Chain A
Amino acid sequence: MKQYQCIVCGYIYDESLGEPEHGIAPGTRWEDVPVDWCCPDCGVAKADFEMIAIESTP
């Protein structure tokens, strides 16, 4: 599972956690997050995230 960081505000999307409050289930891979999803903290688009780290899951 990977993590992606919003380049504007630093918010981190963690695939293993998802974003259940915004309808993204835990374990949702980044490529499966809808294109119109945007940062819950600052509102920028999915395109403004970049991958920051790769974590292996057991």
Chain B
Amino acid sequence: MNPPIVILGSGLAGISVARELRKLDKEVPLIMITADDGGFYSKPSLSNALAAGKTAPQLVLTARETLAAQLNVDIRAGSRVVRLLPGQHAIEMDSGRVEYSRLVLALGAQPIRLPIEGSGAADILAVNSLADYAAFRERLVDVKRVAILGGGLIGCEFANDLRLAGIAVDVFDLAPQALGRLLPTGAAEFFRARLEAAGVAFHFNTSIARVDRSEGGVILKDSQGKDFSADLVLSAVGLKPETELARAAGLKTNRGIVADKLLATSEPDVFAVGDCAEVQGLVLPFVLPIMQQARALAKTLAGTPAPVSYPAMPVVVKTPASPTVVCPPPAGAAGAWREEADPTGVRAMFEDAAGNPLGFALVGDSVKDKQALATQMPAWL
């Protein structure tokens, strides 16, 4: 009998591959190895679960046992992989060796940690998993003021969520605006005003250099020497694809684990999906690309090689104070933003020299145009 297909990781990427594969092949032996608990939860919910009153256990949509039975997959929870042995079609775990016919790396990404000095630096939280969220909820008891490092998508979602829960929020970012990688200036200005009206205090063009413990909380010092106080510090400055295992085993890595359109890495029978993967040069740590990858890879694993394709995939920013949807232009596309603003929102189109739309950003009421616009955008891959 052939060795099983082995999936490393039980996040959205790993579980979606298993789910899609089972639609095509109910029998092929499947093992999923995860350092986590192995239950399925919605990671995008971590940054809007507080105001919804959801605890960590309540976020689990499918328990491990149920998932294992539904998908006919052997889930090895709480297991760490020590190294990949692609030459032997095997992996080494802390508990022994497992052989594979095909290996799927769905290892995710780790929060980037800024170099911050001070006695409180070690207490800075990042929320990137259900276990992190549980720790965050425990630490939030009696917290009145939270400092968030990073005014990108995750930082702003947490800021809005914390405000809805009645907690004061300061957001710090090096950029001159919120959602710096996503929004042009007019849309960003609308977004800032709406979140400020909801009580979020933004501090742009600055960064936090020190965090020191003080009585009952922490004191943050920014790069200009200004002091801020908080009870808790949340870091949301971005994610770094988890490439260590792959790199150590000699797989080609760049920003992520390098994969082609078949999600194949530089080693035979080893594939990469989700936040750890750099597919045709693109690292896209969002839900929709993962679903596209999982569908394509499942076909390949079931015996019909299928390259992944990406339609234009709008990103929804879950900030109820300012509904926001962004469909970024393809990486490196030449063009310029054209923005139309009114008191209810901003509609920004990214257009090439001939006026063809390549991307869009919608804030406020204009988010209703998302579907209609998305279909006009060129495919990404």
**Residue B341 is within 8 A (CB to CB) of chain A in the complex:** no
Closest A residue to B288 by beta carbon equals: A43
Question: Considering only CB atoms, which chain A residue lies closest to B60 in the complex?
Answer: A10
0 or 1 for each of B57-74: is its CB under 8 Å from A? (1 = yes): 001010000000000000
21 cross-chain CB contacts under 8 A: A5-B61, A8-B12, A8-B42, A8-B44, A9-B42, A9-B45, A9-B287, A10-B59, A21-B368, A22-B368, A36-B371, A36-B375, A38-B371, A41-B316, A41-B318, A42-B42, A42-B44, A43-B316, A44-B288, A44-B291, A48-B291
Main secondary structure of the interface of A (DSSP, over half): loop
Residues of A within 8 A of B199 (CB): none
Q: How far is the CA of A19 from the CA of B368 in the complex (A)?
A: 13
Beyond the given A10-B45, A10-B61, A21-B368, please list 19 additional residue pairs across the A-B interface where CB-CB is below 8 A. A5-B61, A7-B61, A8-B12, A8-B42, A8-B44, A8-B287, A8-B291, A9-B42, A9-B287, A36-B371, A41-B318, A42-B42, A42-B316, A43-B287, A43-B313, A43-B315, A43-B316, A44-B291, A48-B291
CB distance from B306 to the nearest CB of A (A): 16
B287 touches A44 (CB 8 A): yes
Question: Which chain A residues border B61 with CB–CB below 8 Å?
Answer: 5, 7, 10
Distance A8 CA – B288 CA, assembled complex (angstroms)? 10
B314 at the interface (CB under 8 A from A): yes
Asked if A45 lies at the interface with its beta carbon under 8 angstroms from chain B, I say yes
A35-58 interface (Cβ within 8 A of B) = 36, 38, 41-45, 48
Report which A residues bind B (CB closer than 8 A). Answer: 5, 7-10, 21-22, 36, 38, 41-45, 48
- Convert B347-381 into 0s and 1s, putting 1 for each residue whose CB lies closer than 8 angstroms to a CB of A: 00000000000000000000010010001000000
Q: Contacts A41-B316, A43-B314 given: A10-B42 contact, CB under 8 Å?
A: yes
Interface of B is mostly: helix
Residue of A nearest to B315 (CB): A43
B residues near A38, Cβ cutoff 8 Å: 371
Q: How many whole Å from B7's CB to the nearest CB in chain A?
A: 17
Tell me the smallest distance from the CB of B19 to a CB of chain A, in Å.
8
Residues of chain A with a CB closer than 8 A to B375's CB: 36
Complex Cα distance, B111 from A23, in Å, reads 38
A43 contacts across to B, CB distance below 8 A: 287-288, 313-316
**A36: min CB distance to chain B, Å:** 7
State A38–B316 Cα separation when bound (angstroms): 12
Distance of A5 Cα from B288 Cα, bound (Å): 17
User: CA separation between A42 and B291, bound complex, in Å?
Assistant: 12
Q: How distant is A40 from chain B, measured CB to nearest CB, in Å?
A: 8
B44 to chain A, nearest CB (A): 6
A56 shortest CB reach to chain B, Å = 24
Report the separation of the CA atoms of residues A46 and B45 in the bound assembly, to the nearest whole angstrom: 19
The listed residue with most B CB atoms (<10 A of its CB), out of A5, A22, A36, A41, is A41
Query: How far does the Cβ of A7 sit from chain B's closest Cβ, in whole Å?
Result: 7
Q: Which residues of B contact A10 (CB under 8 A)?
A: 42, 45, 59, 61
